[in-house]
Structure 1
Amino acid sequence: MNLILRLLITAGIVLLLAHFLPGVAVSGFEAAIIVAVVLALLNAILKPILIILTIPITIVTLGLFLLVINACIILLADKFIDGFGVNGFWTALLFSILLSVSQSIARSFLKEQKKTD
């Protein structure tokens, strides 16, 4: 149940960011759900492999290269999904940063609700 709720929240955030960010387009809520699922799969499968392969450059850049990996995952999701589009690398970088921050805020609200219940 928690996974489904997190995917729905991510889909809502994707829709919201696509509305406000120029260069990001989502065709509808169904496409946003597919984006959330594909991003979850890419982050679970591909991201750890990329992190291991890029450990030296990540250490040299003090972890900032992880932002590049996140942007590349967003661009890869753009290639896989027809109803989702990102115009370029810098837009994908900004989208990934805003998505991560928004997801962290949403998760903190969910944790506070569980503590009060």
Structure 2
Amino acid sequence: MGFLARTAITAFAFWCAAQLIGGINFSGPFNLIIAAIVFGVVNALIRPILMLLSLPLNVITLGLFTLVVNAAMLGLTALVMPGMTISGFGAAFFGAIIVAIVSWLANKAIGDKDKAVNR
């Protein structure tokens, strides 16, 4: 799937999280799009390193520590983005869960057109 589609899906997931969680706020719709791009960069560069460093905790918790890593990535995005605020760890934790669920549902709904053509 293309970069623009993934960015739009993540921006929509951020909007859903901001609507459902009181501690997540964006100053405007343009900030949603920029935050989605920053979140993609953070997930591409920092998340793999953090997942590797937290591998023992992930094994012990049967993968549940990944939720904490996802919350940390959302919190890091909020630190970098001037128009995005997260009130605390609880908001980041539940916001990361909402972003993951909405992104997964949107990706399933849109599907991958390349895979359908190649079959």
Identify whether the pair has TM-score above 0.5, normalized to the shorter chain: yes
Summarize deviations over 1:39-76 as a string: whole Å, max 9, x none. Answer: 10111110000011111111001111111111111111
- Runs of 4+ deviating beyond 2 Å: none
Equivalent position of 2:14 in the other structure: 14
Q: RMSD of the TM alignment (CA)?
A: 1.6
Equivalent position of 1:84 in the other structure: 84
> Alpha-carbon deviation of 1:6?
1.4
State the TM-score, normalized to the length of structure 1. 0.91
1:5 aligns with 2:2: no
CA distance in 1, matches of 2:13, 2:104: 11
User: Which ranges of structure 2 fall in alignment gaps of 5 or more residues?
Assistant: none
> Alpha-carbon deviation of 1:29?
1.2
> Alpha-carbon deviation of 1:10?
1.3
> Alpha-carbon deviation of 1:28?
1.1
Equivalent position of 1:70 in the other structure: 70
More relative contact order, 1 or 2 (CA 8 Å, 6+ apart): 2
CA distance in 2, matches of 1:34, 1:101: 20
> Alpha-carbon deviation of 1:17?
2.0
Equivalent position of 1:109 in the other structure: 109
